[in-house]
Amino acid sequence: MSTGPHALASATHDDDAALFRHLPGLRAHVTRAAIGRWPTPIEPLTGAEIPNNLWIKREDWSAEGYGGNKIRSIEFMIGSALRNDAGRIWSEGAFGSNHAVATATHARTFGLRSGALVFPQPPSETAFANARALAALDCEIRPLASVVTFPFGDFRLRRSSDTVQRPGAAEPAAVIGYVGAALEIADQIRAGVMPAPATIVVPVGSTGTISGLVAGIEFAAHMGLAFEHRPQVIGVRVTPWPVTSRFMVSRLAQGTAAFIAEHGGPDLRSEVRRVARSLRMTGAALGRGYGWPTPAGVAACRQLAPLGIKLDTTYSAKGAAWLLDKARHLEGPTLYWMTKSAEPLPEPTGDQLERMPRSVRRWLRRQPRTLGSRGDQGPAI
């Protein structure tokens, strides 16, 4: 398929997303590439040694080919690239970025090329699999020697006519997708899929997901859909403060509310500012830092795998580890935001591997880190 009007028309033909149903004024201003399978299911999370009253939002099943939490934001980023007739869409993040894999997987179905500006991260099986998938998807990989040089790489990319997403797509024009997620949960509560959650637990990397959820809960409450009693939203940090500070989340949530107000929706900026103050963020599951597997995360992977829940050690395992440890002390019902795609990843051919930048190939040859400390002989996950 090519880009241009044909791709744009087929990208936007279906309007089943909760965001447009509840905020129809947005439709005239933003373009959504129809990628996701909405709504994603909500299921009770039950099993031996799993605390009561837990539920799970299956964002892992959000799209065919590659799902996960980022589908909600890239629908609008790919939509914007199609509208602007951009030839390529870039993502920015670590060598093993899920956002980059999600973008590369779905861009090509709309005839768009993809690129990824990436910086090194601790080697882990989860990150290796993503980097290999980028090669298999013919994504142009532009590696940096260090995250420190990221602003220069970003500056160079932005001088082109390509669409360049911020790391994690943490920008209001994309975060509106998670406002849609909160409206979707409101619909599911009204349909009796689950009782209104008292607590929502979300792993936090770039802050896009949690910021949109916080804003969206306020929109759903304002429209009388659900959340008369606001749930406590708890962010489990997988990247350190200050990237995941409450201030950053609150700022992006307010920016998203402002975007909606400026694009045909109601103005809830002050309500969102107020509610963002009650947000709770914890760094208790971070371990040694971004991308480092933790013993508790690996234990959570093992505990949930028999239930068909495939966690990744960088993000979803840390959130789940915190949840499983603390759930008995949380006010229920508690909803866990399951963010890692459940789909199998493509493997590159020998030629595709050869074409990868040398620094990434060198990184792929490193021994994957097992657990947090060097002496630990845990499994390589």
Ligand X SMILES: Cc1ncc(COP(=O)(O)O)c(C=O)c1O
- Measured in whole angstroms, the distance separating CA 197 from the mean position of its chain's CA atoms is 21
Which residues is 201 bridged to in the sheet?
A: 234, 336
Residue 229's alpha-carbon distances to 115, 117, 170, 184, in angstroms, are 43, 42, 27, 17
- Closer residue to ligand X, CB minimum distance, 34 or 213: 213
Contact 282, 322 (CB under 8 A): yes
* Smallest gap from residue 375 Cβ to ligand X (A): 28
- Closer residue to ligand X, CB minimum distance, 3 or 97: 97
* Smallest gap from residue 303 Cβ to ligand X (A): 18
* Smallest gap from residue 95 Cβ to ligand X (A): 13
Would you state the structure tokens that stand for residue 134, as one six-digit string? 């980028």
- Closer residue to ligand X, CB minimum distance, 205 or 293: 205
First to last CA, the chain: 37
- Closer residue to ligand X, CB minimum distance, 115 or 168: 168
* Smallest gap from residue 161 Cβ to ligand X (A): 26
Nearest to 337 by CA among 184, 125, 190: 184
- Closer residue to ligand X, CB minimum distance, 210 or 221: 210
Q: How far apart are CA 131 and CA 3, in angstroms?
A: 26
Nearest to 8 by CA among 69, 83, 78, 105: 83
* Smallest gap from residue 7 Cβ to ligand X (A): 26
- Closer residue to ligand X, CB minimum distance, 163 or 316: 316
Contact 54, 332 (CB under 8 A): yes
- Closer residue to ligand X, CB minimum distance, 129 or 196: 129
Nearest to 275 by CA among 177, 170, 182: 182
- Closer residue to ligand X, CB minimum distance, 22 or 340: 340
Measured at the CA of 357, the angle between CA 108 and CA 111, to 5 degrees, comes to 10
* Smallest gap from residue 209 Cβ to ligand X (A): 3
Contacting positions for ligand X (CB under 6 A) = 68-70, 98-99, 168, 203-210, 312, 315-316, 339-340
- Closer residue to ligand X, CB minimum distance, 22 or 99: 99
Strands (E), the chain: 42-44, 54-58, 88-94, 113-119, 140-143, 163-164, 199-204, 232-237, 280-282, 334-338
* Smallest gap from residue 289 Cβ to ligand X (A): 15
* Smallest gap from residue 339 Cβ to ligand X (A): 3
* Smallest gap from residue 294 Cβ to ligand X (A): 15
Would you state the structure tokens that stand for residue 229, as one six-digit string? 């009693």
Nearest to 341 by CA among 91, 101, 25: 101
Q: What is the chain's percent helix, strand, coil content, to nearest 5?
A: 45, 15, 45
Measured at the CA of 318, the angle between CA 317 and CA 322, to 5 degrees, comes to 115
